[in-house]
Amino acid sequence: MAEIYVGISGINAVDNPGPGVGVARSLHEDPDLKVHVVGLAYDTQEPGIYMDWVINKAFIMPYPSADAEAYLQRLHYIKHSYGLDVVLPCLDAELPFFTKYQHEIAALGIRTFLPTLDQFNLRGKDRLADIAEAIQVSIPPTKVVTSLAELHRAVERIGLPVMVKGAFYKAYKAYTYQEAVAHYHKLVAEWGYPVIVQGMVFGEEMNVVAVGDGQGELLGQVGIKKMWITSLGKIWTGVTIKNERMRDVTANFIRRYRWKGPLEMECMVDGDTVYLIEINPRFPAWSYFATGVGVNLPANIIRKIYQLPLPATFDYDPGKLYIRYTDELVTDMQMFQKITTQGEN
């Protein structure tokens, strides 16, 4: 078969890594797919741009927060000047654009595999309570705030410590009201309103990466427990697990809402109680972990899009270990100059 040009964003493999490089590696590892990865970057220093063995070609994109028309034009330019068959957006901030403009993107001849706008909005951090009720899972006490007065009330009602979260990204733990206020200001400045305040719940933090096919079925799911996280809360070491309760919650969510596309469920598990902390409508940064244990979710999406046979089983073994490690790359400034001045490498 012909090479498939797949656009992947989030190739910022830094200390708070985007999912892109792991997703790209997964696609390269499918023995039957011939994938050419087109990196979609937002800064000329995203490491993926320089990792030409994973990201075959990279383009700088306009910010999705700036102007939808400019973004569509850029996709169109890439499609025609280079080639772009599929885009797998990997960053939260891009998803409202990609979900809303699915039809326009399809009209450019570029395929996506995403939830509908309604499905996407449903898992907003400020609406978790509705989902929790529908799929019968608990959530920590949560308040959505848009002012300092509301923040104060929320902290008082929930009790310290609390997690203070941005509408799209970032979550900070606050042990004092002053800390909560500082986080609040930081989040508002970067991500706007609202800000979510969540109480702390206790238990083991567990995560699931899964893909729904849009008809209620799974294209695979892998559960993990993070064993060691960095000061930014990012996984460094982890292990695969099979927690039946959590697997059910994920499957229920995908079945009930006919979720299409990747997602990450963040849960706290305390015995039989599963607290749903967050549903991220995209691949997590550790997606390659699932590929490594035999569940290649990015490849399954491409297979589904092109109606190629899916693997016979999505099963995996619990007890497989994941270790992230740092690596270094030395090169000269040429590629940096090129991407800076021309917007592509």
Which of 210, 304, 299, 300 lies closest to 259 in space, CA to CA? 210
Query: In a 10 Å sphere around its CB, with 0-12 CB exposed, 13-18 middle and 19+ buried, how is residue 220 labelled?
Result: buried
Nearest 5°: CA angle at 239, between 237 and 240? 145
3-state secondary structure of 243: coil
Q: Which is nearer to other proteins, 64 or 262 (CB)?
A: 64
Q: How far apart are CA 145 and CA 107, in angstroms?
A: 39
H/E segment holding residue 79: helix 68-81
Q: How far is CA 203 from the centre of its chain?
A: 23
Phi and psi angles of residue 108, each rounded to the nearest 5 degrees, phi first: -80, -5
Q: Which residues pair with 210 in a beta bridge?
A: 221, 263
Query: In a 10 Å sphere around its CB, with 0-12 CB exposed, 13-18 middle and 19+ buried, how is residue 159 labelled?
Result: exposed
Cα–Cα distances (Å) from 99 to 30, 35, 112, 183, in that order, read 26, 23, 9, 29
Q: Which is nearer to other proteins, 169 or 236 (CB)?
A: 169
CB of 210 to other proteins, least distance (A): 26
CB of 44 to other proteins, least distance (A): 4
Residues forming the site for other proteins (CB under 8 A): 42-45, 60-70, 73-74, 93, 96-97, 100-101, 126, 144-147, 150, 167-168, 188, 191-194, 333, 336-337, 339-343
Q: Which is nearer to other proteins, 100 or 255 (CB)?
A: 100
Nearest 5°: CA angle at 210, between 209 and 214? 150
CB of 223 to other proteins, least distance (A): 31
Which of 206, 294, 211 lies closest to 243 in space, CA to CA? 206
Which of 4, 13, 80 lies closest to 37 in space, CA to CA? 4
CB of 122 to other proteins, least distance (A): 11
CB of 65 to other proteins, least distance (A): 5
Q: Which is nearer to other proteins, 118 or 272 (CB)?
A: 118
Q: Which is nearer to other proteins, 191 or 253 (CB)?
A: 191
Q: Which is nearer to other proteins, 130 or 270 (CB)?
A: 130
CB of 170 to other proteins, least distance (A): 12
Please check whether residue 87 is in contact with residue 110, taking contact to mean a CB–CB distance below 8 angstroms.
yes
CB of 275 to other proteins, least distance (A): 22
Q: Which is nearer to other proteins, 49 or 290 (CB)?
A: 49
CB of 45 to other proteins, least distance (A): 6
Q: Which is nearer to other proteins, 194 or 212 (CB)?
A: 194
Q: Which is nearer to other proteins, 36 or 74 (CB)?
A: 74
**Those residues with Cβ within 8 angstroms of residue 171's Cβ, 6 or more apart along the chain or in another chain:** 163, 164, 165, 233
CB of 74 to other proteins, least distance (A): 6
